[in-house]
Amino acid sequence: MNMQSGPADTAAEAIQVAPVDVRVEGVHVSYGEHHVLKDINLTIEPGEFFAFLGPSGCGKTTLLRLIAGFNTARSGRVLINGSDIGDLPPWKRNVGLVFQNYALWPHMTVRANLAFGLEERRLPRAEINRRVDAALALVGLSHLADRRPSQLSGGQQQRVALARTIVIEPKVLLLDEPLSNLDAKMRVQVRRELRDLQQRLGLTTIFVTHDQEEANAVCDRIAVMNDGVIQQVGTPMELYERPANLFVATFLGTANVLKGKVTGEGADRTFNIAGRGQIVIPPEAVVPADAQLVFRPQAASLGPASTEPSAGSIGGSIIRREFLGSFTRYGIEVGGTEIIIDEVFQNGVHLYELGDRVQVRLTEKATLWLA
């Protein structure tokens, strides 16, 4: 579909949504003894594209369904535009949920699927037709209005599901892994379209995914979840640059983690890696108890072992080498752990061989101490 075309713009005007904020306050959800969500607190700004990101079973879909009204919280509140929606049944909440498997009604045409929610609101037929046409134009499917869902491709079904949700002019748009049933190429295309659509409508949107790349590419902010707890909330770059803990650091991108002990006090703190060297901890750094040393593969450089051992480097030996064109990825054994270092390829610079002893020099600013 072409989102830039004229008719779609007019269509966007026919669908009127006001940006509202969503607040989740102290929410606990449990199934019997199993606690699925623990003390969730979140504020999603009006018009924001927000992601719940985490591995399967982390509670992200539960939280999304809680906002839609399909789960109940043991305690806590969900507020949309300042009003508590906890007492409203799903059909009175006006939050649009796009289901992972689209959940298109197979016995209705595309048009009937879109009209359904408006018919339930007892809108006049003319108004229903106008809004359905607009929503179809918005997702570029006007020509398929009389098809049945089973006659559409996966990507088209996904757009119908989106249009069916948007046509009711929801306060908030909830997307439950909307890209997971598409092939890799479609996924990239559709996520751009989603972002464009969201921007043009100005609709507060929550996107559930387990794919960090997806979340990074489209979302303004991300809540990283694990084990029913929100680990960190921030923009994609904040999360990558300053992860709050080990889970966030390792879940978003590749991170090296080295165990060690902190010795000394105040300005004299050092981080000792069992027999492999020590790193001076900058005085301003915050180091939690039982911290581990964390750095990205590109946040260090390699030097030959013969160089003078310095305070900011660790000794190790090359056990793996993958030449990937623009850079080379080395696996280096350090005190029983493998760490990964990416070295940018430069003409004339020789590569290390397996078995070479090397010094890993950390970039001080990009070094983290996390628990």
Partner 1 sequence: MTVALSEALPRRRGLGSPGPAVVAILIAVFLALFLIIPTASVVYVAFTERGTGAFTLVNIQDFFANDLFMRSLWNSFYVSTLTVVLASVFALPLAYITTRFDFRGSAIIQTLGFLPLIMPPFVGAVAMQLLFGRNGSINLLLYDWFGLRVPFMEGLNGVIFVQAIHYFPFILINLSAALRNIDRSMEEAAQNLGSSGIRLFRRIVFPLAMPGYIAGASLVFVKVFDDLATPLLLNVKDMLAPQAYLRVTSIGITDPMGYVIAVILIVVSVAAMWISALAFRGRDYATTQRGGGGLARRRMRPLEKLLAYAVVLVILALVLAPHVALTLLSFATIWSFSPLPDAFTTAHYERVFSDSFLYIKNTLLYASLAGVIDVVLGTAIAYLVLRTKLVGRQWLDWAATAALAVPGVVLGIGYLRTFYGVQLPNGAPLTSLWLVIVLALAIRRLPYALRACFAALQQISIALEEAAQNVGATPTRTVRRVVVPLMMGGILAGFVTSFATAAVELSAALMLVQTNSDAPLAYGLYVFMQSAAGRGPGAALGVIAVLLVAACTVLSQIIIARSQKNTGMSQ
Which residues here bind partner 1, judged by CB under 8 A? 68-70, 72, 86-87, 89-97, 99-101, 103-107, 116-117, 120-121, 148-151, 164-165, 168
Instruction: Considering only the C-alpha atoms of the chain, give the largest distance between any 2 of them, rounded to a whole number of Å.
Output: 82
Closest contact distance (angstroms) between CB of 101 and partner 1 is: 6
Closest contact distance (angstroms) between CB of 84 and partner 1 is: 11
CB-wise, 34 or 107, nearer to partner 1? 107
CB-wise, 101 or 363, nearer to partner 1? 101
CB-wise, 56 or 306, nearer to partner 1? 56
CB-wise, 97 or 294, nearer to partner 1? 97
State the DSSP string of 221-265: EEEEEETTEEEEEE-HHHHHHS-SSHHHHHHSS--EEE--EEES-
Question: Which residues 6+ apart lie within 8 Å of 132 measured at CB?
Answer: 111, 114, 115, 118, 145, 167
Closest contact distance (angstroms) between CB of 278 and partner 1 is: 55
CB-wise, 96 or 316, nearer to partner 1? 96
Closest contact distance (angstroms) between CB of 281 and partner 1 is: 51
Q: Which amino acid appears at position 102 of this protein?
A: Y
Closest contact distance (angstroms) between CB of 231 and partner 1 is: 28
Gap between the Cα atoms of 86 and 67, Å rounded? 8
State the DSSP string of 93-129: T-EEEE-TT----TTS-HHHHHHHHHHHTT--HHHHH
CB-wise, 116 or 240, nearer to partner 1? 116
Q: Which of 14, 26, 36, 43 is nearest to 234 (CA)?
A: 43
Closest contact distance (angstroms) between CB of 333 and partner 1 is: 42
Question: What end-to-end distance do the CA atoms of the chain give, in Å?
Answer: 46
Gap between the Cα atoms of 50 and 81, Å rounded? 16
